[in-house]
Amino acid sequence: MFWKMVTGALRRQKSKRLMVALTVGLGVSLATAMLGVMFDVGDKVNQELKTYGANLTVIPRGASLAGDKYRFEGETEDASAGAEDAENYLPEDELYKIKMIFWAFNVVDFAPFLATRLTVGEGPEAREVVFNGTWFNKTLELPTGDKVTTGVMPLKSWWRLEGEPGSDDHFDGVMVGRNLAAELGLGLGSVFTAKDASGARRSMLTRGIIESGGDEDDEIFGTLAFAQAAAGLPGLAQKVEVSALTTPENDLARRAAADPESLSRLEWDAWYCTAYISSIAYQIEEALPGTRVKPVWRVAESEGAIMQKTQLLIVLLTVLTLLCSALAISNLVTANIMERSVEIGLMKALGASNLAVSLLILAETLLVAFLGGFVGYLAGLGLARFIGISVFGSQVVVKTVVIPLAVLMVLLVTLLGSLPALQAILKLKPTEVLHGR
């Protein structure tokens, strides 16, 4: 009987029911799109922020901390100066382990670097230049059988390149900084020679000219193998720059970064299993013993701050959208109750309790709301895709967690919107509506 009454009532006032469904649908579609973007925006913003460069630097534990600090800020260290101390270097053949950590999928890209000094020119015109050996398109075969290609170019996406990027297949092919190329009179395809620390002459082919706006404009970038040969450090690198997708830091992550031992077991598990920059750094240190992994905080914190602000904005917009929907539903449902006051008065006169009448009205409204909500959810998926493509240039993948949230939103909006109507039901006196003389 209950459902007969519900469906019977739904068949009436079709336009009003349609308005309720439309209101809920609009609210849910916007909220679904917002939440879809919010849950995916981390990855999207992270990917956008990868243009800031690497957010982690791996260095050998034995390297001088003070030296690291200054070198990372600007000057390039010279491998040939400390070639005798192998503890200050990272073994190239172990770097694949960076892609074997718990958060391996979040490691977007990484590249090792080995800097050495070469002398270009002869006599009084001779000058020293920094040669950075790195990977350009290195394909690593992991023990799992997977293959990973990584290199410097995605890490330096802001570089402007004229010509071709370097290649690990071209031992002596290099990219020369714009200032240095101008100074040495090098153009694309120019071949030039330089002396390494041992005095050996090495020939190089200019494949590309780069402009970064930084120190790199005065340096040369070539293969790691070339740098290792020039520096006399076969199989070694000085540092590795890593770009990883991370979760914004919170108190737990900050405590862990300061001292992982201070965490309880549960906290430690939560921290370890979340892609905080500190937990990824910790896992790389685990994978590469004898290394120290330093977050590049200016990048990591910018990412975190931008993401938090973006997410806060989205949450606020979602809440406002839902509130607007609730207000509109409130008007529609209350108008419906007023229109049906005689019917509701009759039910109460026949012995229906306030609860029974309220449940009937709620069931009617919820049924319509869920129908509208379902359509709204589907529309929201489309809207999220549109936002993803138009804002981030790639599709937003709406996570499944949005489904229960959408259900919760429909419930919340409908219940909130129905409150004034339910109050009207409680106040409605059969005597006032049944004796319409």
Partner 1 sequence: MANIMEIQNVSKIYGPLKALQDVSLSVPPGQWLAIMGPSGSGKTTLMNIIGCLDTPSLGEVILDGVRLSSLKPGELTTIRREAIGLIFQQFHLVSYLTALENVMMAQFYHSLVDEGEAMEALERVGLSDRARHLPRQLSGGEQQRVCIARALINHPKLLLADEPTGNLDEINEKLVMDILHKLRGGGSTIVLVTHAPEVAAHADRVIVLEHGKLAEDRLNERGGDAGPLAAAGLAESEGEVGGAKMAS
Q: What distance in Å separates the CA atoms of residue 308 and residue 290, rounded to the nearest whole number?
A: 34
Note whether 342 binds partner 1 by CB under 8 A. yes
Q: What distance in Å separates the CA atoms of residue 91 and residue 237, rounded to the nearest whole number?
A: 6
Minimum CB distance to partner 1, residue 33 (Å): 36
Copy the structure tokens of residue 314. 């989205």
Q: What distance in Å separates the CA atoms of residue 405 and residue 408, rounded to the nearest whole number?
A: 5
The one-letter amino acid code at 121 reads G
Minimum CB distance to partner 1, residue 429 (Å): 8
Nearer to partner 1, 379 or 433 (CB): 433
Site string for partner 1, 12-31 (x = CB under 8 A): x-------------------
Nearer to partner 1, 284 or 347 (CB): 347
Note whether 9 binds partner 1 by CB under 8 A. yes
Element (H, E) at 428: none
The one-letter amino acid code at 234 reads P
Note whether 437 binds partner 1 by CB under 8 A. yes
Copy the structure tokens of residue 65. 């901390």
Residues 349-388 that bind partner 1 (CB under 8 A): 349-353, 356
Note whether 142 binds partner 1 by CB under 8 A. no
Nearer to partner 1, 1 or 266 (CB): 1
Note whether 338 binds partner 1 by CB under 8 A. no
Can you tell me which of 202, 306, 343, 420 binds partner 1, judged by CB under 8 A?
A: 343
- Give Cβ neighbours of residue 306 (< 8 Å, ≥ 6 apart): 45, 49
DSSP codes of every residue in 163-225: E----TT-TTEEEEEHHHHHHHT--TT-EEEEE-TTS-EEEEEEEEEEE-SSGGGGEEEEEHH
Note whether 147 binds partner 1 by CB under 8 A. no
Minimum CB distance to partner 1, residue 417 (Å): 23
Rg of the chain (C-alpha set): 32
Copy the structure tokens of residue 409. 């939103």
Q: What distance in Å separates the CA atoms of residue 174 and residue 223, rounded to the nearest whole number?
A: 7
Minimum CB distance to partner 1, residue 15 (Å): 15
Minimum CB distance to partner 1, residue 334 (Å): 20
Beta bridge pairs of residue 120: 127, 194
Copy the structure tokens of residue 429. 């006196």
Minimum CB distance to partner 1, residue 10 (Å): 9
Minimum CB distance to partner 1, residue 359 (Å): 12
Note whether 339 binds partner 1 by CB under 8 A. no
Burial-class residue 94 by CB neighbours within 10 Å (0-12, 13-18, 19+). middle
Stretch that binds partner 1, among 6-14, 52-60, 210-218, 221-229 (CB under 8 A): 6-14
Minimum CB distance to partner 1, residue 370 (Å): 21
Q: How many residues bind partner 1 (CB under 8 A)?
A: 26
Nearer to partner 1, 305 or 342 (CB): 342
Note whether 435 binds partner 1 by CB under 8 A. yes
Q: What distance in Å separates the CA atoms of residue 165 and residue 223, rounded to the nearest whole number?
A: 11
Residues 408-427 that bind partner 1 (CB under 8 A): none
Beta bridge pairs of residue 106: none
Minimum CB distance to partner 1, residue 351 (Å): 2
Note whether 258 binds partner 1 by CB under 8 A. no
DSSP state of 276: B
Nearer to partner 1, 147 or 437 (CB): 437
The residues binding partner 1 (CB under 8 A) are 1-2, 4-5, 8-9, 11-12, 342-343, 346-353, 356, 429-431, 434-437
